[in-house]
Structure 1
């Protein structure tokens, strides 16, 4: 995993690898808190996360970021790196990602990242909601897809500001759980998928976790002290109903990721937050799968990208 001598996370404790197993799925073991992270960390879930990497990249027309970070960033931090696919793509000297000068560090509560990585990419096991301890600041701090994962977003923004170099950039790419229909004649309240989005949001809120960070990112970034803040919103369809070719492709991958691992992303949240049984969750997921195949529903959500710069004359 590679040590980072500039971080207090200098070793991978054996307890981190003592995963929890529930209903045939594997979950993290970084902290003794069932509500810390609701989703699995096994291979099936990792495939879903990598598929979301593709969806997000498609949404950004092949780009991995929108912030104008320049050609030679020296230090990059990827918050909640997940499978590490974004960090590895940024580290590769490809046509799209030419940052060979950058030292790229990704952190996550689960050690699920690959061991064979570009020479300028490293990973550490860490909880981004704890106090950060780094001896050097970063040129660029990146975060994405932390929906249903973070309790204190303002604290995360403040720590990002603290550990960004003057003139450096932060970028937050995220969603909300609000799915809506673009078909004005469709009764969304009768759809199990719409009910699922409401139940998931209600469940994670019981643990103090924010399910809808996307629309709030811009204000949080500005409140933290960043300037030159820019916000962008991209539609994320569910299914192949859009006429636009790129949106149709995004929708196809989106519904694939949902159908393939629906129980995995639903089970713990509804069992712990709503006190459902495993059988009740499975029956509900079957209803959702059927509902998702209804093209007339035309469900869509939003993908938010917000970036900002730390003032050049900032003291800290």
Structure 2
């Protein structure tokens, strides 16, 4: 993908992995749309103050704010500023809408006791779960401390790199994650840690995407459009840094390989735009279009400048071109959202 005067990559992009991506059709409308222990004393306070300063020492690049915790070589390529937080909260609404108002699909019962939310982001899912399940202790972890301080009493957050070795002393009834696409280097290790730290008989659930767009409704979208080339370069750029951009269609295999059973999988199309005939999908598509339009720079800047050597000004030109294409109702394109939930065998031995 090239913008005016844009530098071309000096390295050949890694080959994309081959796997089947189900294309799920959406019918289009016929008309075009115009507590700490006080016994620790001052030593603990001094230590935690030092840790907090490290965690909150954010990194700023090209006018956007990124995480500061364990930033060697960049652990996460998207911002953590207010614009990105707003986008993530909007996506929470989109996803909940697409799941018929449900926060999860795994049958965790009415009284779960311990729930872990991996990569909790703004914490909005954990907070909603805390309200829904007062019996549960909800723990959310993330590499960025961007979660609110006013939360239900049964919800807590911690700053952690979920790809490190976990050290929890008590296992969980349910482990949940979503939108970890473009952020995890070793998915197999993540699955093994989930298997180790969920109770026998407990559930895990992964909700995620891939970066592939497609059309099944006679749309003008194709891989040669600006959007198609942009999506490919985002994915290939992340692969240069060892990050997997397309976990969605591979999750079911990883879950099974980790030892989980009773595996359930759903593939749901997410339209982009208001072209679907179905009322709910039209609403999903409208919000999905907005979340792309509002933060294309946030999704693009760090990857393009780090992986491909583009200048920030060139990225802005590209994003202007992308917005024009995203707003074209004739594109009629979509991407897939995958939900996989599974159970740890009751007789499992770690």
Query: Is the 8 Å Cα contact of residues 221 and 332 (structure 2) preserved in structure 1?
Result: no
Aligned-pair Cα RMSD in Å = 1.4
Unaligned runs of 5+ in 2: 1-34, 38-46
Aligned length: 305
Counterpart of 1:38 in structure 2 is 77
Among residues 111, 128, 136, which one is paired with 1:89 in the alignment? 128
8 Å CA contact 2:219–2:331 kept in 1: the answer is no
For structure 1, list consecutive stretches of 5 or more residues without a partner in the other structure: 5-9
Partners of 2:237 and 2:218 lie apart in 1 by: 28
Asked if 1:230 corresponds to 2:264, the answer is: yes
Shift of 1:182: 2.3
Report the equivalent of 1:159. 193
Indicate whether 1:107 and 2:146 are aligned. Answer: no
Matched, 1:199 2:233: yes
Q: How far has the Cα of 1:3 moved from its partner? A: 6.6
Deviation (angstroms), 1:185: 6.2
User: Which of 104, 107, 113 does residue 68 from structure 1 map onto?
Assistant: 107
Alignment of 1:172-187 (within 5 A): 172-184=206-218, 186=220
Checking the alignment, whether the CA contact within 8 Å between 2:112 and 2:173 is kept in structure 1 is yes
Alpha-carbon separation, structure 2, partners of 1:87 and 1:238: 26
The residue number in structure 2 matching 1:7 is: none
Q: Is the 8 A contact 1:77 1:104 kept in 2?
A: yes
Higher relative CO (Cα under 8 Å, sequence separation at least 6) belongs to 2
| Residue matched to 1:77 | 116
CA 1:166 to 1:241, structure 2 compared with 1: closer, same or farther past 3 Å? Answer: same
Partner residue, 1:270: 304
1:14: Cα distance to partner?
A: 1.2
Structure number, greater radius of gyration? 2
Question: In structure 2, what is the Cα distance between the partners aligned to 1:189 and 1:202?
Answer: 14
Runs of 4+ with >6 A deviation: none
Aligned CA distance change for structure 1 residues 90 and 285 (closer, same or farther; 3 Å): same
Q: Conserved in 2, the CA contact under 8 Å of 1:183 and 1:298?
A: yes
TM-score (normalizing by structure 2): 0.85
Deviations 1:96-122 (A, max 9, x none): x2x111000000000000000000000
